[in-house]
Amino acid sequence: MRPLGRLDAIVARVPLDVPLLGAEVGVAAGRLSSALLRSLPLLTLYMVDLWAHNASQDYLATGDWHASRSDQREWNRVLHVARRNTRHAGTRAKMIRADSATAAVRIADGTLDFAFIDDDHSLSGCTKSITAWLPKIKPGGFLSGHDYKHPRFHFGVTEAVHAFFDPRNMPVERDKDFTWFVRIPKA
């Protein structure tokens, strides 16, 4: 099953004929990771998720059903599915079982071609992820995410994106499936 427009929106923004280094933050069962690794055969992808319940009160308040998933057996099953879904990529799939900010510390600054954030959808959680992952993106790359201006949920994604990037005069692009993209200027 193909993740709705997220895959196309990401693939449209990267070169297809050079090695790429990316990150997906908030992997869950790995559907998008698997699709990215199949569509971009020169991509090495950091797959970041805690695969455990760790929702803040802010995240719970968004109504995101992922925030209320507290059964660790279920999270272990989801992790197993993610591993199975990305097995085809071999060592190009690099799983990091940690929260967003902790995982970002493990990645060198200025090394990623892109990062796609789809984890804690609260204002505070999304701001934390943007702050952690932006330094990891190389000039010309992009930071992006999911659930921007989602019509059914009151997530904090849209507010976090604009509060962070508007004062920096960094334009936000929108694309399919409630995705957002910010290109990092070349030096």
CB of 121 closer than 8 Å to CB of 156:
yes
**What does the DSSP 8-state code read for residue 13?**
T
Q: Give the pLDDT confidence of 98-125 residue by residue, as tens digits.
A: 999 999 999 999 999 999 999 988 899 9
User: Which CATH number is associated with domain 6-183?
Assistant: 3.40.50.150
Nearest to 119 by CA among 136, 132, 106: 132
Q: Specify the 3-state DSSP secondary structure of 138.
A: strand
Average pLDDT along the chain: 92
Query: What's the distance, CA 175 to chain centroid?
Result: 15
- Delimit the domains of the chain by residue range: 6-183
The pTM for the full model equals 0.93
Q: What is the pLDDT of residues 41-54, one digit of tens each?
A: 999 999 999 998 77
Instruction: Say which residues have a Cβ less than 8 Å from residue 118's Cβ, sequence separation at least 6.
Output: 24, 25, 26, 32, 145, 146, 147
Q: Which pLDDT tens digit goes with each residue over 82-101?
A: 999 999 999 999 999 999 99
How do 179-183 and 137-145 pair as beta strands? antiparallel
Lowest mean pLDDT among 129-138, 149-158, 174-183: 149-158
